[in-house]
Chains A and B, each alone.
Chain A
Amino acid sequence: MATLLDIQGLTISFPNATPVKDLSFQVAEAETLAIVGESGSGKSLTALALMRLLPKTADITDGSIRFAGEDLVNIPEPAMRERRGRDIAMIFQEPMTSLNPVLTIGRQIVEVLRLHRGLTRAQARREARDLLDLVRIPDPDRCLDDYPHRLSGGMRQRVMIAIAVACRPKLLIADEPTTALDVTIQAQVLELLDRLRRELSLALLLITHDLGVVGQWADRVVVMYAGRKVEEAPPEPLFNDPLHPYTQGLLAASPRLHDDLHYRDSRLSEIPGSISSAVKEKGCPFVPRCPQRRDVCRTVFPDTTMAGLGRSVACHAVTPTIATGPSLHDAAVRL
């Protein structure tokens, strides 16, 4: 399938820090790409950079973001504004605070419809009703005139999704869309996103720290650590045969993927240390926590090497030869 989004060498800098460094990945049309990493790994900043909504003090200092053939880094702000909400939409982690408390739900959906699709008030209202129906909100007519505080977190996130897909965007960025929700609601919201992806054929960029979400919904996964992409792979080979020591640690620390293991039988492992500061960095940022570190790791960040079909990894300890994952069938069984 055609590449929709092509990010090359993206670097985001604050005046005294560089939280995202030389990041490259692609998203194809209508696929789901998951970006995984701890908080502080730069994944949310990457998402904001795609929207060109970085905080005032942050700046894209290098790299390109080609979206549908056009580099978003250099287009003027008014042109970018036309794309936001129409071609690229975004939903956020906090549904409780992401809607304006003093405006009705209807008004907040109508706003984006009138802006980008030039609908009349009446048309927009009908369309807003249909959108609420699309995201499975019961009694959409009443919901239109309701205020956000009267809805639950899950319902509010559905409203956010309705706003996001209102103009049929080509790319939907979902930044930790379920983190703030109850476990029971999380699956419903993800299911909704996946259904919309198929029905509206939009590409989904799913940003999460939850590996369970990744395994179930992503077509491909990018693992980020301290602003760098350390590994990229489809979920099955990633889970069965993680190549980067960080990915290995991440998987070992995640209880959901070992449902056959009980906590009392085996200790849940953890990665020693914490995410290193993004300020001082020369070699591989994972060095202080890495069980397989070598001398070269301290001074040189490893090149990204291809490691099989759709796989790549950036680690001195990994040689391409060992990177032959088990079959897809095995992976499916394990999952």
Chain B
Amino acid sequence: MSTMTRLAKVLRRTTLQAVPTVIGIVILNFLLLQLAPGDAADVLAGESGSATMETVAALRARFGLDQPVLVQLIAYLDNLAHFSLGFSPRYNLPVSDIIAQRLPGTVILMLTALALALAFGITLGTVMATYAGRWPDRLISVGITLFYSIPGFWIGLMLILLFSVKLGWLPSGGSGTIGTTVSGFALVIDRARYMVLPALSLALFYIAIYSRLTRAAMLDAQTQDYVRTAAAKGLSPFAITFGHVLRNALLPVTTVAGMHLGGLLGGAVVVETVYSWPGLGRLAFEAVMSRDFSVLLGILLLSSLLVIIANVTVDLVQAWLDPRIETR
């Protein structure tokens, strides 16, 4: 069986498995909305200051908030089927539009953080496994235990303090210089300068996770018989590590990397508020503050879908890395 057909099989299987989860998430989201005290009409009315019972009722009718729960659920599902996440009374825009505006920011931030975390984590883990029990291992271990205990939002603030306030090297917030006219490479540099601190704050915890995991997986892989075979072939320790051990050790790392995508999204909520990064996390925060539950619900749903997509991707990566998967 070729790699492509194998991957296609895995893709079909995991996609089918995700269907009930998606349905469950939709219903969960809707139930949460029903539990919320007060609704968007109340908030809007409260904000305008001079609301009467009639205007509130009119608002409710306008947004379908006066319908029975089941009708609202069906309406919600119907909207979803048409890829519509409803309408945000507060922004006076379709929820999907608001989210679409903010989604790229979050995805870029997350992917950068994930890439940073994997790159540093796997490198550090490999170093630790290579020097297991000796001083480089112990030194990195201490650092990692610390990374592991630092809240992302706090390290974010401390990085701002050091690199923006004290040293003045990097901007303290936003996603790009406002009103800048640069383009091409200079634009990339400008964006990267704004990206460094938030991505690092978000990645720190995951660097700790991935390096520990890589270390354990490498140590486990090193004891396998095929490593002895590789040594008996006369391969150098370098060739053994990169040609034989690392690829096997990456299997558990990819699983966990996928499992942590949800956590990364949660972390983004806090880090984005620290750096005024225009993404979903900040939008979620604003939605909570203004009780705009249709937006909040949309974010929860979308982020869950992102996690599901990530899980499917992880399954594909694993099937690609591990030829044995088709037989399971």
- Do A and B have CB atoms closer than 8 angstroms in the complex? yes
Please give the residue numbers on chain A whose beta carbons come within 8 Å of chain B beta carbons, in ascending order.
51, 53, 78, 81-86, 89-90, 92, 94, 97-103, 111-112, 115-116, 147, 149, 160, 163
CA distance A228 to B244 in the complex (A): 36
| Pair A90/B232 contact, Cβ less than 8 Å | yes
Assuming A81-B236, A94-B225, A115-B235, is B327 touching A100 (CB within 8 A)?
no
Partner of B243, one of A51, A85, A111: A111
| Pair A149/B327 contact, Cβ less than 8 Å | yes
Q: Chain B interface: which size bin? A: 20 to 34
Partner of A116, one of B234, B244, B323: B234
Assuming A97-B225, A102-B247, A111-B243, is B324 touching A85 (CB within 8 A)?
no
Partner of B230, one of A83, A97, A100, A101: A100
Assuming A97-B225, A98-B225, A100-B244, is B233 touching A163 (CB within 8 A)?
yes
Shortest C-beta distance, A79 to chain B (Å), equals 11
Give every chain B residue within 8 A of A92 (Cβ-Cβ).
225, 228-229, 232
User: Is B50 at the interface (CB under 8 A from chain A)?
Assistant: no
Taking A53-B228, A85-B234, A97-B224 as given, write out 6 further A-B residue pairs in contact, using a Cβ cutoff of 8 Å, ordered by the A residue number: A78-B236, A97-B225, A100-B230, A100-B248, A102-B248, A116-B234
| Pair A115/B234 contact, Cβ less than 8 Å | yes
Give every chain A residue within 8 A of B97 (Cβ-Cβ).
none
Assuming A101-B248, A147-B323, A149-B327, is B225 touching A53 (CB within 8 A)?
no
Within B218-253, the residues touching A (CB, 8 Å) are 224-226, 228-236, 239, 243-244, 247-248, 251
Shortest C-beta distance, B324 to chain A (Å), equals 5
Partner of B229, one of A81, A86, A98, A102: A98
Assuming A82-B234, A115-B234, is B228 touching A149 (CB within 8 A)?
no
Give every chain A residue within 8 A of B231 (Cβ-Cβ).
51, 53, 84
Partner of A98, one of B228, B236, B251, B323: B228
Shortest C-beta distance, B19 to chain A (Å), equals 30
> Which residue of A is nearest B321, CB measured?
A102
Give every chain B residue within 8 A of A102 (Cβ-Cβ).
247-248, 251, 321-323
A sample of 18 cross-chain residue pairs with beta-carbon separation below 8 angstroms, ordered by A number, consists of A82-B234, A89-B232, A90-B232, A92-B225, A92-B232, A97-B224, A98-B225, A101-B322, A102-B251, A102-B321, A102-B322, A102-B323, A115-B233, A115-B235, A147-B324, A149-B323, A149-B327, A163-B229
Shortest C-beta distance, A171 to chain B (Å), equals 12
Shortest C-beta distance, B194 to chain A (Å), equals 39
> Which residue of B is nearest A53, CB measured?
B231
| Pair B233/A84 contact, Cβ less than 8 Å | yes
> Which residue of A is nearest B232, CB measured?
A90
Shortest C-beta distance, B228 to chain A (Å), equals 7
**In this complex, which of B226, B243, B324 has the most chain A Cβ atoms within 10 angstroms of its Cβ?**
B226
Give every chain A residue within 8 A of B234 (Cβ-Cβ).
81-86, 112, 115-116
| Pair A99/B229 contact, Cβ less than 8 Å | yes
> Which residue of B is nearest A51, CB measured?
B232
